[in-house]
Amino acid sequence: MAVSQSNTAKNKYQLLVESVQDYAIFLFDTEGYIESWNSGAEKIKGYKADEIIGKHISIFYPPGDILTGKPDKILQEAAEKGRIEDQGWRVKKDGSRFWADVIITALFDESGLLIGYGKITKDITDKKRSKNALVAANKLLKFQHIELEALNHVKDEFVTLASHQLRTPATGIKQFLGLLLEGHAGPLTEQQELYTQKAFDSNERQIDLVNSLLRTAQVDAGRVSLIKSFVSLSKIAHEVVESLHEVFEARHQYVVVEEDTVADIYIDEARIRMVLENLIDNASKYTESHGRITVTLSETKTHASISIKDTGVGINDGDIKRIFDKFNRIPNKLSDSVGGTGLGLYWAKKIVSLHKGTIKVNSQLDIGTEFIVKLPKGVIRV
């Protein structure tokens, strides 16, 4: 009964090996000559059993591997180690190649004498191609990244150089136009004064544009170093509002600063002042006559907050997510008359981020907009 069960098990095992389709499983002797062949081997390599049994395993190797003696070296290594794994090109009956994942196991009898080898081969050509494609794609991405960094550096250098070169003559033009308007070259006729004033205003816009480009290039290039000190946000807010007083009057707008007691905060005063100037001036530009702008200061244990809220034209929900994009200007009924570069909010967010703070916007179309800047208190003054 035991012998019958053993024979049955062996028959089942042989049937299993012979029926496997995805793996080539076969035996060869100590010299490398093939002794058995399963259906998976026929499927992968293309040989029928009667075509390949008795042939040497070197038939599966490319000419280069045969010249270097790889088949014999693999057998020797398997005999020494008992088992080896290998990947490489193998050759099918029709001469085509496939990338093989191979395991060769040395077979020993009870006395430890080598009696042959068992070999399992898997065709992983598709996996190899996918891996090669991924490696090639990664190399291409790295190259493109390096190329983009180089181009970005060239762009930053160009913008910085161009901005400096443009600002110098523009400043000179402003000075001479100012002298003309002040009468230093003699009285101007009404028409001459009108044209000179228009030229002066256009030149001011050009200088603003150049300064915006320069600031943006500097922050993008990582050349902005914050110079921090303890500063009163209340003082900055009041001074910014006062500096824009004539603008508010000309537009017939009501502006108020509301505040709780806010402790001094450790920031770069000049740059945060510019952020507030940008946000408050924007609120004025996009608020119609007789509108209201409210600047509110508050604090928590960890942050100081500045809210700039207006009763202006507002922003569509779909446009809010693009509001801080570079060179982005949201179209509305006042945008044509306002003008601008689309760089102010982009730069402001960068500066706030350098302070480890946040800037957010809430808005409703035709009702108004609120920008909220939160700055961490950071270093605590003793």
13-33 residue pLDDT tens: 677 777 778 899 999 999 999
pLDDT at 164: 66
Examine the pLDDT at 327 and tell me if it is beyond 50. Answer: yes
Instruction: Determine the topology of domain 130-220 in CATH.
Output: Helix Hairpins (1.10.287)
pLDDT at 6: 63
Domains in the chain: boundaries: 2-123, 130-220, 229-376
Sheet containing strand 368-376, edge to edge, reads: 254-259, 292-299, 303-310, 368-376, 358-364
Check the CA dihedral 269-274-214-208 and report its sign. Answer: negative
Q: Is residue 72 within a helix (H) or strand (E), and if so which, with residue range? A: helix 70-81
Examine the pLDDT at 369 and tell me if it is beyond 80. Answer: yes
| 130-220 and 229-376: identical CATH topology | no
| pLDDT tier for residue 89 given thresholds of 50, 70 and 90 | very high
| pLDDT tier for residue 290 given thresholds of 50, 70 and 90 | very high
Among 23-37, 216-230, 280-294, 363-377, the range scoring the smallest mean pLDDT is 216-230
pLDDT at 1: 45
Q: At what angle do helices 269-285 and 233-243 cross, to 10 degrees?
A: 40
pLDDT at 382: 37
pLDDT at 127: 86
Instruction: Determine the topology of domain 2-123 in CATH.
Output: Beta-Lactamase (3.30.450)
Closest CA to 51 of 15, 92, 14, 88: 92
Q: What is the mean pLDDT of the chain?
A: 86
SS3 label, residue 341: coil
Examine the pLDDT at 351 and tell me if it is beyond 90. Answer: yes
Instruction: Quote the pTM value.
Output: 0.55
- Say if domain 229-376 classifies as CATH 3.30.565.10: yes
Roughly how many angstroms between the first and final C-alpha of the chain, as a whole number?
94
Residues 28-60 have pLDDT tens digits of: 999 999 999 998 999 999 999 999 999 999 999
Select the more confidently predicted residue: 88 or 224.
Answer: 88
Cβ–Cβ < 8 Å for 162, 217: no
